[in-house]
Chains A and B, each alone.
Chain A
Amino acid sequence: MESFFVRYRNFLVLLAILLAQIVGLAVQVHRTDSGRNTDARDGTGVRLIRMWAEALVSPPERLIHSSKTGVGGLWGNYIDLRHVREQNQELQKTIDRLRLEQAELIEDAKQGQRLQAMLNFQEKYIYKTVAAQAIGTSGSDQSKVFFIDKGSADGLDRDMAVISADGIVGKVRDVFPHTAQVLAVNDQTSGAGVILETTRIRGILRGNANGQLEMVDILQDQRIKPGEKVLTAGGDMIFPRGLPVGVVEKVVPDPDRDSFIDVMITPAAHLDRLDEVLVITSTLPRLSPQQQQDVATSEAEKGAEAAAIHDQQVKEQQKASAIMAERLPGLMDPNLPPDKQPLLDSSNPDPVTRPAQALRPDRFTPLPKSAGGATDGKPETETGTSDAAKPAVPKAAAPKTTVPKPAAPKPTEPKATAPKATAPNQGDGSPTGRNQ
C-alpha cells in the first residue's frame, strides 16, 4: 500500500489539486432561474483572493502608468539619442531636451484635449462622476475586464456605470480600496438595455466570443439599417438612458432562433484603447446654482398656489355645509342660536340621537313580565318598547316588522334617522330576526 502512494505520488497530488479546484468552482457557481451564473457577487473568500491578486499586480501597474512616456516612450527616446549622438555631441543635448519637452507638451496637449472632451461630456450629461485612469487588464482575451485607479475610497461602488467621452464602456464589477475592476460591455457576461434611436426597438447589449458588441433578443425587423445609432434604454438600473452606445454595423440572423436577429454594433467608445474614463457615481441630476435657484422658486410658487387652492376648497366646503343645513331643517334646532347648532358644534362628534337598545330584538322572544310584554308571541311594538324607543325611534321603524303601512313621519323627524332606528341589532352587527 505504501509503495502505491509512493509510486503514484505525483499523479495523486495532481488529482487532489484538480479535485480541490473543481470543488472550489462548484462552490462559486450560483444557480439561478435562467441557469448557472458565475457572475454573481463573489463570496468573502473569493473576494479576498481577488483582492490579494489585485494588490500584488496593481502597484507595478501604477508605477508603469505613472511614468509619462512609459516603455514605448523610453524606447523611442533611446533611439533618438543614439541617432543624435552620432551627428553632433553638442546638438544632442539641445535636441534631446527639446524633444523631451515637445513630447511632454504633446502628451499634455493630448491629455488636455481628452480631458476637455470628457469635461464637455460631463457637462452635457449632468451626472455626478469620478474621473479614473485605466491601469491594467485581466490579461486574458476571454475576459474583457480592466482595472482603474479609483476605488471605494473615491466613492465608487459595484454596478456603477463607466463611460468615456464617446459612449458607454462598462460597469464596475468589483471595488477595492484604491482600485476597481470594470467589466466592459463587450464581454460575453456583460449586459445592458439598449434602444435603437429611430426605430425605438429595444434589445440587450452584450459581447460575443470575439469581443464584438451585439444586440440580441430582437425579432426580425426590416427597418433596422446599418448606421442607425444605438442608445442606452435606461431600464437596467445601471446606465442612464440616452447615452451613446454605438452604431449598427450589420444585421445577422440569430443562429439559435429562427425568427430572431442579432444586430452587430460598432462601439462608440474605443474599448481597446481606453485611458481616461468616467464613473457615474450618482444618476441624480447635478444642477447648477442658477438651476437650483429656479427649482427653489418653482417649488415656492407651487406651495403658495397649493395653499390658495386649499383655502378656496375649505371655503367652498363651508358654503356647501351652510346650504345643506338650510335645506335640511331637521338638522337645525330652532331653539338654539346659529352658532350653537349641533352640526356646527365640533365637540359633538355625532349630533344624531341614536335609539335605545330594543328590549326584544325579534318577534319570537317573549318580553319579560316587568316590561309588560305579551306572551302570545306577537310583537309588542306599541306597548312596552314604544316608550323606551319613543324619543328617537321614528315611526317608520315599526312598520318594517309589524305594521304593513308605514307611519307618516313627523315634519321634525327626518327620514334620514329612520334606517338607524329600524335595526335592533345594529350594535352587535348580528342579523335581525327577520332572517331567521
Chain B
Amino acid sequence: MSLMGANFRRDLEIRQYPVLVYVLVPLVALVLQAWLPRVVRGYVWFDLPLVVTIYFALGRRSPIQGTMMGMFMGLFEDALSQHAIGVNGIAKTVCGFLAASVGVRIDVENYTIRLIMNFVLSLLASVIYVFVSRVLLGLDQEWRGLTELMKAVGNSVIALVLFPLLDRLQVRE
C-alpha cells in the first residue's frame, strides 16, 4: 500500500521539460564551466555540470535518468581534461543516482533541502573523484579540504539561484 502511495506521489510530481531544455541546459552548463575559469581567474569554486545533474535528477525523480545524466556530464568533463575519461563520470553517476533516489522521498521544492542536497552531493562527488584517482588510477591526487568545501558552498549558492530559473522552463499541464 505504501509502495503504491509512493509511486502515485512520484508520478504526480515528475517534472516535464521541453526536449530542447534537456539538450541546451547541460550544454550551456558545460560551456560555461569551461569558459568561466578564464574570467574568475582561478577561483573555480563551482561545478555547474554537477548542479544541473542534481537538478534534473531531483526533478525527474528517476534514478536511471539521473544516473545517465550524471554519466554524460561527468564523461564530458573528463573529455575536456587531460585525465582518464571516467573519473568524473563515476563521481557524477553516483551523485545523479543518489539525487534521484532521494528525490522520490523528499520535497524537492524546499530551498533548504535543495541547499543541503547540493552541499552534500558536491562533497561526495569530490570524495569519489579523489578516491578513484588515488585508488584506481594510482595518481598523486591530494585532498584539498578547504577548496572542496568552498566548491560545495558555491554549488549550493548557485543552486539556490539556478533552480528557480530552471523551474520556469518546465512544462505545466
* Residues on A with beta carbons closer than 8 Å to the beta carbon of B77: 138-140
Tell me if B157 counts as interface (CB < 8 A to partner A).
Answer: no
A54 touches B79 (CB 8 A): yes
A54 to chain B, nearest CB (A): 7
**Complex-state Cα separation, A25 to B136, whole angstroms:** 8
What does DSSP make chain B's interface, helix, strand, loop or mixed?
A: helix
Q: Give the number of residues in A that approach B within 8 Å (Cβ atoms).
A: 57
CB atoms of B39 and A71 under 8 A apart = yes
Please encode chain A, from 202 to 233, with 1 for each CB lying within 8 Å of some chain B CB and 0 for all others.
00000011110000000000000000000000
As a 0/1 sequence over residues 1 to 41 of chain B, the CB contacts with chain A under 8 angstroms (1 = contact) are: 00000000000000000000000000100110111111101
Interface flags, B98-116, vs A, CB<8A=1, else 0: 0001000000000000000
Known: A13-B67, A17-B71, A38-B137. A136 touches B35 (CB 8 A): yes
Cβ of A181 < 8 Å from any Cβ of B?
Answer: yes
With the chains together, A53 CA to B88 CA distance in Å? Answer: 14
Most buried by B among A25, A64, A140, A188: A140
Quick check: which of A55-63, A358-366, A393-401 contacts chain B, the rest being far away? A55-63
Q: Are A61 and B35 in contact (CB under 8 A)?
A: yes
A64 & B86 in contact (Cβ 8 Å cutoff): no
How near does chain B come to A213, taking the closest CB pair, in angstroms? 14
Contact of B82 among A173, A272, A273 (CB under 8 A): A173
Q: Contacts of A169 on B, CB cut-off 8 Å?
A: none
A21, B86: Cβ atoms under 8 Å? yes
Which A residues are CB-close (under 8 A) to B36?
139
Known: A13-B67, A17-B93, A136-B34. A22 touches B86 (CB 8 A): yes
- Once bound together, how far apart are the Cα atoms of A25 and B84, in whole Å? 6
Chain A window 258-298, contacts with chain B (Cβ cutoff 8 Å), 1 for yes, 0 for no: 00000000000000110000000000000000000000000
Q: B residues within 8 A CB of A137?
A: 34-35, 37-38
For residue B66, give the distance in angstroms from its CB to the closest CB of chain A.
Answer: 9
Cα A350 to Cα B36 in complex, Å, equals: 85
Check: A35 CB closer than 8 A to any chain B CB: yes
> Does chain B have a CB within 8 A of A98?
no
The answer to whether B81 touches A143 (Cβ under 8 A) is: yes
Residue of A nearest to B29 (CB): A139
For A46, the closest partner residue in chain B by CB is B85
The answer to whether A57 and B30 have CB atoms under 8 Å apart is yes
Task: Tell whether B87 is near chain A: CB-to-CB under 8 Å.
Answer: yes
Of the residues A21, A38, A272, contact of B139 by C-beta under 8 Å: A38
Bound CA–CA A272/B36 (angstroms):
12
Q: Check A14–B35 contact: CB distance below 8 A.
A: no
A70 to B36, CA, bound (A): 12
A35 to B138 Cα, complex, angstroms: 8
- Taking A11-B63, A22-B90, A70-B39 as known contacts, 13 extra A-B pairs with beta carbons closer than 8 A to each other, sorted by chain A number, are A14-B67, A17-B71, A22-B86, A25-B85, A25-B132, A28-B84, A35-B138, A50-B80, A50-B85, A53-B79, A56-B27, A141-B37, A273-B41
Give 23 A-B contacts (CB < 8 Å), ordered by A residue: A9-B64, A13-B64, A14-B94, A17-B67, A21-B71, A21-B75, A28-B84, A38-B137, A38-B139, A49-B75, A53-B76, A53-B79, A56-B30, A57-B31, A57-B80, A136-B38, A139-B77, A142-B141, A147-B34, A173-B82, A181-B82, A189-B82, A209-B142
Chain B interface (Cβ < 8 Å from any Cβ of A): 27, 30-31, 33-39, 41-42, 44, 49, 63-64, 67-68, 71, 75-77, 79-90, 93-94, 97, 101, 129, 132, 136-142, 144, 147
